[in-house]
């Protein structure tokens, strides 16, 4: 029987965002789904303080030891005077073939870790620096999608320098009496508030600015249905079937707790029963968004659909959750791609994109100067 070398995958998880624990759950699911006959897996936990732990220490946490205790012990061994101390343990396994970052939120989805891995010259799963950064910033996402002709909800951008220009009254006159206030750079519904009066608006603004210096005040869609599509691929992406999220009537929207703490009251329709016309519109919008933002590997595109069946792109998630209740893998499972097959495809796509970039960077040869004496 022919022996094949296993692919050595570096699974990076954790991070110093509010989605740290979500990332750990995603990493567990990915690790369990990976075919160990195909892959050797090294674990790299990024602590809440932003330090990479080596494989042995990360495995201890993975196996149930208290993270804070392990992190304290390992960070104490590092030379804090070394500016590279936070990332030194990433070199513990030098023979990594491909990295799989599954850090949600800040520093994971915003292009930061993608820049680090590109500097290391290693393939990695997911979008590059620019696509990640644009998609994580809700303000930039909306601007790019508007240029691409993809419908999104109307909003005003608030910053510490401009927030005094906007009152609840002025915004409600422009966008409607119900508003959603949200940080521009944050995920998993953290810092998002539904507001319907001036007092709620003031409190929402105060909280949202805790997470980012850019805050969106966004119009609400009347009685929206929350639909989602998963996308997979590089230059020729494919879209999953459409799924729906039904949140409890007592909740204004799909909250962090709905997503990751207690989903017992949330109903997932995968795939959802909608008209073929609407499904086609959503699929086109998802793929148009993916291409406009220059995304690679994977993304989950979230939609709000009005009672009149008018769809709007709500968010673009470049490193969607892989927990046991996450819709990204569920949607592809309903579309005929199993969890383990999804992992295989993502790793192949990472290598494909790395090879493409390497050719551009290292094989590029400029055209010779044009000979002005030659008649064309």
Closest CA to 301 of 176, 183, 127, 175: 127
Verify whether residue 355 is a known catalytic residue. no
State yes or no: 317 annotated in a binding site.
yes
List, as one string, the DSSP characters of 93-105. STT-SEEEE---S
Residue tagged active-site, from 42, 188, 230, 335: 188
Q: What is the DSSP letter of 87?
A: G
Helices (H), the chain: 20-33, 55-62, 67-76, 112-119, 129-136, 138-147, 168-175, 198-208, 256, 276-292, 327-334, 339-362
Please state, in angstroms and rounded to a whole number, the distance separating the CA atoms of residues 29 and 342.
12
Verify whether residue 127 is a known catalytic residue. no
State yes or no: 228 annotated in a binding site.
no
Angle (deg, nearest 10), helices 112-119 and 129-136: 170
State yes or no: 21 annotated in a binding site.
no
Verify whether residue 203 is a known catalytic residue. no
Residue tagged active-site, from 17, 19, 23, 240: 19
Dihedral, CA of residue 34, residue 37, residue 40 and residue 41, to nearest 10 = 20
Residue tagged active-site, from 58, 132, 172, 326: 326
Binding residues for Mg(2+): 302, 315, 317
The residues that are catalytic are: 19, 188, 326
């Amino acid at each position: 029987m022919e022996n094949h070398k296993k692919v050595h995958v570096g699974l990076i998880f954790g991070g110093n965002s509010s989605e740290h624990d979500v990332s750990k759950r995603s990493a567990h699911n990915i690790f369990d789904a990976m075919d160990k006959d195909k892959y050797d897996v090294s674990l790299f936990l990024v602590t809440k303080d932003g330090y990479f732990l080596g494989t042995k220490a990360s495995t201890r946490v993975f196996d149930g030891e208290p993270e804070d205790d392990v992190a304290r012990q390992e960070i104490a061994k590092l030379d804090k005077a070394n500016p590279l101390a936070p990332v030194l343990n990433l070199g513990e396994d030098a023979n990594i073939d491909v990295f799989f970052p599954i850090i949600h939120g800040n520093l994971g989805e915003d292009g930061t870790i993608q820049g680090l891995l590109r500097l290391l010259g290693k393939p990695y799963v997911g979008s590059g620096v620019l696509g990640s950064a644009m998609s994580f910033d809700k303000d930039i996402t909306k601007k790019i999608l508007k240029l691409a002709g993809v419908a999104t909800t109307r909003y005003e951008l608030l910053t510490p320098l401009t927030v005094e220009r906007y009152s609840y009254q002025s915004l409600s006159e422009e966008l409607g009496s119900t508003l959603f206030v949200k940080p521009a750079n944050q995920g998993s519904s953290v810092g998002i508030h539904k507001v319907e009066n001036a007092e709620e608006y003031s409190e929402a603004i105060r909280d949202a600015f805790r997470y980012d210096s850019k805050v969106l005040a966004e119009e609400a869609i009347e009685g929206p249905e929350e639909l989602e599509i998963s996308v997979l691929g590089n230059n020729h992406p494919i879209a999953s079937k459409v799924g729906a999220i039904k949140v409890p009537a007592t909740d204004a929207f799909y909250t962090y707790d709905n997503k990751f703490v207690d989903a017992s009251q949330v109903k997932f329709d995968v795939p959802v029963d909608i008209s073929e016309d609407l499904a086609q519109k959503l699929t086109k919008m998802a793929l148009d968004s993916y291409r406009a933002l220059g995304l690679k590997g994977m993304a989950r595109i979230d939609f709000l659909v009005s009672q009149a069946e008018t769809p709007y792109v709500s968010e673009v998630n470049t490193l969607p959750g892989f927990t046991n209740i996450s819709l990204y893998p569920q949607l592809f499972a309903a579309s005929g791609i199993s969890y383990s097959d999804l992992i295989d495809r993502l790793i192949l796509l990472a290598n494909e994109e790395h090879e493409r970039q390497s050719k551009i960077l290292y094989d590029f040869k400029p055209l010779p100067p044009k000979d002005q004496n030659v008649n064309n």
